[in-house]
Amino acid sequence: MSKPHALVVGASIAGPMTAYWLAKAGFRITVIERFPKFRPGGQNIDIRTSGVTVMHKIPGMEPAVRAKIIPQDSIQFVNSKGKPYATMKPTGDPNQQNLISEYEIFRDDLSKILYDLTKDNPNVRYVFGEQVSAIHQEEKGKVTVEFQEGKLSRQDYDLVVACDGATSRTRALGFDSTVRTHMHPMNMWCAYASVPTDYLNGSKAATMYGSIGGRAVAFGPDPTGGNRVCALAVLPQKEVDATLPFRKAQKEGDDALRKYVGQHFASVGWKTADEVVQALTAAPDFYASENVQIKLPSLSRGRFTLVGDAGYAAGPTGGGTTLAMTGGYVLAGELLRHKGDIDAGLSAYEAIMRPVIDDMQRIPPGVPTAIAPQTWWGIAIRDAVLVAVTWGNAMFGWVLKYLAPSFGGDNYNLPEYEWVE
């Protein structure tokens, strides 16, 4: 009897993670990625709660992650003169974390680790530079997929899994919707890049500066010797479709987007921050994205389903990577448990993941406004709170785990599965 064949769309974290577990559940997997190769750069991400549990189930993954942990020992918040007024360090406890995770890693590094864990598996095939152009399916049965670039021919699959991010084009095709149909905007966007200059002068303390207008600039150590940079824009929360100008710049192309980000952060208020923004918008690996939550009435439609940000982007909760890792594990495990009945496996996947998703998407009070306030008064209040909580670093982690589940331990009791490979 031939193995069921799954198409996984997307090769960043959720895709390779899902491919790893589907192979262990007895599937053949084709993973496609619309970019011609892995994209370099990317922001800090972290593995928390059930993500740590899933990581421990994969032989060799935790040592690989620890070998790539960001060389960052703290984050310091500075004023307009560059003087630190609050410093936060890791708690040292994966079950009671704060803003810095015990497993803090760059997105591209984690994607590469997961790719390396799957690329030599005879049941996993990667195809870069390809994307889905059409999806056809009956209510039940195989899914017929057409491809845009011609590297793959029209083919039937037993299962299609979209893992291509919050702006998933595959989700729109699979659910016969638009890309934004299931988005819940946070009125936030971020720009990221790696820059050659070390603005920290060898320090391992990441630095964050906030200015009026909901603008924050953060930069931290990079093993290459430079810095990884993030420019965060938090727009007024009552404003309707506040990210429209940002999205228009995105559609106009890379040059227009770089210009828009540079103008938004012009004269942010601290000389070093201004220099960092200029370096960011000139960097070869510059990219920017809107921060949203994805909320779907159902995670599946027939034999089409979603894992990670494509199906349940967490927004500014710190739970996105954990949800992607947990989702890939549970999806494959339930398909294995219901072997021969993919529809039942997808229903069980939804039942187990739904409370985890709802929990991880719970936004802490004051977020996102408190991250980057609009006014000097708001900044003063935010800074006073930061000074207070960083005096009791471990206590802050204890409080955070009640405000945002992604900062606590794993309370989800994930099932154990008897893998076939």
Instruction: Burial-class residue 235 by CB neighbours within 10 Å (0-12, 13-18, 19+).
Output: buried
Instruction: Burial-class residue 337 by CB neighbours within 10 Å (0-12, 13-18, 19+).
Output: middle
Q: How confident is the model at residue 147 (pLDDT cuts 50, 70, 90)?
A: very high
Q: How confident is the model at residue 72 (pLDDT cuts 50, 70, 90)?
A: confident
CATH code for the domain of 122: 3.50.50.60
Q: Is residue 200 part of a domain?
A: no
- Tokens encoding 371: 């991250």
Beta bridge partners of 305: 161, 300
Q: For residue 314, give the DSSP letter.
A: B
Q: How many helices (H) and strands (E) does the chain have?
A: 13, 18
> In terms of pLDDT, which residue wins out, 412 or 212?
212
Classified as helix, coil or strand, 73 is: coil
Q: In this structure, are residues 195 and 283 in contact, taking their beta carbons and an 8 Å threshold?
A: yes
Label each residue of 28-58 as H, E or C. Answer: EEEEEECCCCCCCCCCEEECCHHHHHHHHCC
- Tokens encoding 177: 């919707």
Q: Strand ranges (DSSP E) for 39-123? A: 44-46, 74-78, 84-88, 104-106
Highest mean pLDDT among 58-67, 99-108, 385-394: 58-67
Q: In this structure, are residues 89 and 76 in contact, taking their beta carbons and an 8 Å threshold?
A: no
Q: Is residue 226 part of a domain?
A: no
Q: What is the pLDDT of residue 405?
A: 56
Q: In this structure, are residues 3 and 26 in contact, taking their beta carbons and an 8 Å threshold?
A: yes
Q: In this structure, are residues 137 and 143 in contact, taking their beta carbons and an 8 Å threshold?
A: yes
Q: In this structure, are residues 52 and 148 in contact, taking their beta carbons and an 8 Å threshold?
A: no
The residues, any chain, with a CB within 8 Å of residue 8's CB and separated by 6 or more, are 15, 18, 19, 22, 29, 30, 31, 32, 161, 163
Q: Is residue 142 part of a domain?
A: yes
Q: What is the pLDDT of residues 348-390, one digit of tens each?
A: 999 999 999 999 998 877 788 888 999 999 999 988 888 877 7
Instruction: Give the chain's mean pLDDT.
Output: 91
Q: What is the pLDDT of residue 93?
A: 59
Q: What is the pLDDT of residues 251-298, one digit of tens each?
A: 999 999 999 999 999 999 999 999 999 999 999 999 999 999 999 999
- Tokens encoding 2: 């031939």
Whether 97 has a pLDDT exceeding 80, the answer reads no
Say how far residue 60 (Cα) sits from the centre of its chain: 22
Look at 48-52, 99-103, 253-257, 380-384 and tell me which has the smallest mean pLDDT.
99-103
Q: Is residue 53 part of a domain?
A: yes
Q: What is the pLDDT of residue 37?
A: 86
Q: Is residue 145 part of a domain?
A: yes
Q: Is residue 253 part of a domain?
A: no
> In terms of pLDDT, which residue wins out, 250 or 98?
250
Q: Is residue 204 part of a domain?
A: no
Q: Is residue 390 part of a domain?
A: no
Q: In this structure, are residues 161 and 16 in contact, taking their beta carbons and an 8 Å threshold?
A: no
Look at 3-12, 147-156, 371-380 and tell me which has the smallest mean pLDDT.
371-380
Alpha-carbon span 316 to 404, nearest angstrom: 10
Whether 404 has a pLDDT exceeding 60, the answer reads no
Q: What is the pLDDT of residue 340?
A: 86
Domain that holds residue 47: 5-73+107-182+294-360
Residue written as token pair 């408190």: 370
Q: What is the pLDDT of residue 44?
A: 84
Closest CA to 189 of 158, 126, 154, 232: 232
Whether 96 has a pLDDT exceeding 60, the answer reads no
Q: What is the pLDDT of residue 152?
A: 97
Whether 394 has a pLDDT exceeding 60, the answer reads no
Sign of the alpha-carbon torsion through 313, 209, 102, 92: negative
Alpha-carbon span 316 to 293, nearest angstrom: 8
pLDDT mean over 39-63: 89
Q: Output phi, psi for 97, to 5 deg.
A: -95, 165
Q: What is the pLDDT of residues 295-340, one digit of tens each?
A: 999 999 999 999 999 999 999 888 899 999 999 999 999 999 999 8
Q: What is the pLDDT of residue 94?
A: 58
Classified as helix, coil or strand, 115 is: helix
Domain count, the chain: 1
